[in-house]
Amino acid sequence: MVFMSIKKRNLYILMVANLLISASTTMIMPFLSLYIETFGDYSEAYVQRWAGYIFGVTFLVAFIFSPIWGRIGDKYGFKKILMFTAFGMSVSIFLMGYAHSVSYMMILRIFMGVVTGFIGISNAFIARQTDRNEAGKVLGTLQLGGVTGMLFGPLLGGALADFFGFSSTFIITGIAIFVAALLVTFGLKEVRPDLEGVKKVTYSRREVLKHIFQLRVLMMVMIISLLIQVANFSVQPLLALYVGELTHTDNVALLSGLAFSAAGFGNLVMTRKWGELGDKYGYEKILNILLLMAALFVLPQAFVPNLWLFIFFRFLFGIAIGGMVPCVTAYIRLSAPGQMQGEMLGYNQSARFLGNVIGPILGGTMAGFVGMSNVFVFTSFMFVVAFVLLWLSLRSDRKRHVNVD
């Protein structure tokens, strides 16, 4: 009974911490380019270029470091990594409030990339302490914190920037993450039930990668993680422009925020339920259903005649992608030996960070050549391709008598 209460307390603490960190790290999104303008008298092209560099470099660095943090967590425990990444993000964002040049900001964003592993490691932490038959439901519950933070972070960041100014918003954000770090430090208790009584084995990086490539479904779900982020981020830079085309009004910022939030609300509504269904029927089966749903719901966004239909399909799309992350994470937890779960989840997180970089570049490039609406068509096609590849991977693994259940 005591053990169960520790697991629940850990879950609730990390839900709150993920909420604070997700909200804090997305607060700066609405005004990053405006903050750069305060550093000097720069051209619009210069500001836009450096805003892209400064935003993207964090994900590039995080792409490299996520598996490293996972490997260290497998060996020494995840709580220490959670503490280090939370305090590291707190310091880096706090210092951004005192930035005076793009180079200073760039250095801080690179350091932030090094320590941007908290949410991925929190997934590994909870996955390790969770029974296999309820991993989807529990990980879906954990995701509620991160989704809620991402949903309200940009809105809160914009409001704080208007009220207190850009520099003060960074300082407030750093303090909020510092609170999350204190919660983890004094509230979290690490338990490793799946490793009790088991001989400690250290896997080499080559052995971990070999395990991923041998189980084709496992490799495919990591590709799906990348795809989810590409699909999300390919549209984000274009959302305000697309909403402007649909509405022809002056309230584009507010309406594009509403369209952006619609997918988040859909995600929030169903993420836990999809995890429960994955526990019951199999994570890979639910993933296949969700991929088809995502393809069906994103395609009409290219052809909608008005904003409200667009928002409706964004909400349905959010429902579909909301179940993918907990099902992918739970599947990796099911497929990986306990001593390599952290590193495997780190590779999965790397795939997501890579998608964060590829998405905006791909979306912007495609929109320039074939038009904004065709970005949605291409995104739908990607989900169909992922469905086919996952289905073929399942058939291949079953034929080779590899366990995919």
Please state, in angstroms and rounded to a whole number, the distance separating the CA atoms of residues 185 and 354.
Answer: 29
Please state, in angstroms and rounded to a whole number, the distance separating the CA atoms of residues 151 and 265.
Answer: 8
DSSP state of 394: H
In one letter, which amino acid is 36?
I
Please state, in angstroms and rounded to a whole number, the distance separating the CA atoms of residues 77 and 34.
Answer: 40
- What pTM, to 2 d.p., does this model score? 0.79
**Superfamily name and number for 201-405:** MFS general substrate transporter like domains (1.20.1250.20)
Please state, in angstroms and rounded to a whole number, the distance separating the CA atoms of residues 396 and 383.
Answer: 20
- Structure tokens that stand for 135 in this block: 């991993």
Task: Please report, for the chain, the start and end positions of each structural domain, with discontinuous segments joined by +.
Answer: 1-198, 201-405
List, run by run, the mean pLDDT of 10-residue segments along the chain (405 residues): 72 92 77 81 80 84 89 86 94 93 92 89 87 85 85 77 85 92 92 55 72 78 85 75 78 71 85 90 90 94 91 92 86 77 84 85 83 89 88 74 50
In one letter, which amino acid is 76?
Y
Cβ within 8 Å of residue 165, ≥6 positions away: none
Please state, in angstroms and rounded to a whole number, the distance separating the CA atoms of residues 82 and 128.
Answer: 14
CATH fit for domain 1-198, picks 3.90.950.20, 3.30.930.10, 1.20.1250.20, 1.20.120.450: 1.20.1250.20
Find the largest Cα–Cα distance for the chain: 65
Burial of 209 (0-12, 13-18, 19+ CB in 10 A): middle
Cβ within 8 Å of residue 314, ≥6 positions away: 259, 260, 262, 263, 266, 301
pLDDT at 17: 93
- Structure tokens that stand for 102 in this block: 């793009």
Which residue, among 375, 360, 59, 380, has the nearest Cα to 237 in the 3D structure?
A: 360
Please say whether the dihedral angle defined by the alpha carbons of residues 38, 41, 43 and 46, taken in this order, is positive or negative: negative
pLDDT at 2: 47
CB 299 within 8 A of CB 380: yes
